[in-house]
Amino acid sequence: MGARLGVRGAPLMVPQDAVGQARVLNELRDMNVHLVDAADAPLGGGKGSDVLGHPLNAVVWLAQALKAEGLSLRPGQVVSPRSRPCCRPRPARR
């Protein structure tokens, strides 16, 4: 499953100062994510903290797991952490 229609909401800009960076980390942890279909019908959602306590924990885990295999994340790659599948398949059309 991917963001076929994109991600809505204001981007989180990463400030240069430590106080601003701490604020963004808290925003990532506390953010509420709502997944909707093309008609804006709700499909699921959760908080940033649902992903291993903080979404960046999942990214660190992924980087370490890749490193153990001799691989790495590269600039420009997109990582979309989530805690578990939140959507049920739609019933088949008749």
Q: For 63, phi and psi rounded to 5 degrees?
A: -60, -40
Q: For 47, phi and psi rounded to 5 degrees?
A: -105, 155
Q: Which amino acid is at 21?
A: Q
Q: Tens digits of per-residue pLDDT, 28-67?
A: 899 888 888 778 888 888 888 988 999 999 999 999 999 9
> Would the pTM count as exceeding 0.85?
no
Please tell me the distance from the alpha carbon of residue 59 to that of residue 62, in angstroms, as a whole number: 5
* Position with higher pLDDT, 8 vs 15: 15
According to the model, what pLDDT value does residue 1 have? 45
Domain ranges of the chain: 18-68
Please tell me the distance from the alpha carbon of residue 32 to that of residue 29, in angstroms, as a whole number: 9
Please tell me the distance from the alpha carbon of residue 69 to that of residue 72, in angstroms, as a whole number: 9
Rounded average pLDDT over 14-22? 94
- Any idea which of 44-48, 62-66, 70-74, 78-82 has the lowest mean pLDDT? 78-82
